[in-house]
C-alpha cells in the first residue's frame, strides 16, 4: 500500500482529485477544466476520450467486485433496457455544473449534451460507466456510498482520500427509458 502522499499523487494523476487543483466536473468522467482562480495542473492522458457517438465499453462483474455491486449489475441487466437517457449531475465543494444527458441506444452512446443545452464532445455517463466508476471507487477510495434503484446507481458519493479536502465525487443520476 503506497504512503498517503504517494497515494494522493497517484489519485491526482489518475484524475480523481478534483477540488483544490481546480479540475472541473461537468461533462462526464474525463472532463478537466480549471476552476476560476484555481491553480492549474495539466494532466496528459495517453488515450483520447471518445466523443459521441461511440461504442460502449462493456462492464462485466468480477469475483473481486463487492457482492452488492455484482447483484445490482444483474438487476440492471435483467431490465433489458436497450434505449435510455441518463441525466447526471456532478457536484463538489467548488462548482455546481449543469446535468449532463447521455443518450444510449443498444451498445452505442448516440449523444452527450447538457440537459436542455448544447451537445458536448465528451465521454458520457452510460450505466456501464457508472459501474466502472464504482468499481474504481471500491478499489481505491477510502469511502464509497451509493443508493441503487432497479440496478441503477441513483446517488454516488466517493471520498477518495479522507486526508484531502474537497476531492470527493458526488453524482446524482436520473434514468429515463426511451420507448
**Can you give the C-alpha Rg of the chain in angstroms?**
16
Has residue 39 been placed in a domain? no
Number of domains the chain contains:
1
Has residue 86 been placed in a domain? yes
pLDDT of residue 49: 60
Q: What is the pTM of this model?
A: 0.72
Locate 28 and state its grid cell.
462526464
Rounded distance, CA 134 to CA 49, Å? Answer: 19
Has residue 41 been placed in a domain? no
Return the ∠ at Cα 45 (arms to 44 and 50), rounded to 5°: 125
Rounded distance, CA 85 to CA 113, Å? Answer: 11
pLDDT of residue 120: 87
Has residue 44 been placed in a domain? no
pLDDT of residue 94: 65
**pLDDT tens for each residue of 92-102:** 766 667 899 99
109 DSSP β-pair partners: 54, 104
Domain of residue 144 covers 4-33+50-177
Rounded distance, CA 59 to CA 133, Å? Answer: 11
Has residue 21 been placed in a domain? yes
Rounded distance, CA 102 to CA 80, Å? Answer: 18
Amino acid at each position: 500500500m503506497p504512503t498517503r502522499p504517494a497515494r494522493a499523487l497517484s489519485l491526482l494523476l489518475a484524475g480523481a482529485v478534483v477540488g483544490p487543483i481546480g479540475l472541473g466536473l461537468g461533462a462526464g468522467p474525463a472532463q478537466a477544466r480549471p476552476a476560476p482562480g484555481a491553480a492549474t495542473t495539466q494532466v496528459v492522458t495517453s488515450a483520447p476520450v471518445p466523443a459521441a457517438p461511440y461504442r460502449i465499453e462493456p462492464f462485466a462483474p468480477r469475483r473481486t467486485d463487492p457482492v452488492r455491486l455484482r447483484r445490482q449489475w444483474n438487476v440492471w441487466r435483467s431490465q433489458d433496457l436497450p434505449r435510455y437517457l441518463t441525466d447526471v449531475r456532478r457536484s463538489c465543494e467548488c462548482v455546481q455544473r449543469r446535468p449532463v444527458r447521455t443518450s444510449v441506444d443498444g451498445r452505442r452512446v448516440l449523444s452527450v449534451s447538457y440537459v436542455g443545452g448544447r451537445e458536448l464532445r465528451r465521454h458520457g455517463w452510460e450505466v456501464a460507466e457508472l459501474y466502472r466508476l464504482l468499481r474504481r471507487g471500491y478499489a481505491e477510495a477510502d469511502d464509497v456510498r451509493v443508493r441503487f434503484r432497479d440496478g441503477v446507481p441513483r446517488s454516488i458519493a466517493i471520498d477518495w482520500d479522507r486526508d484531502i479536502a474537497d476531492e470527493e465525487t458526488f453524482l446524482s443520476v436520473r434514468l429515463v427509458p426511451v420507448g
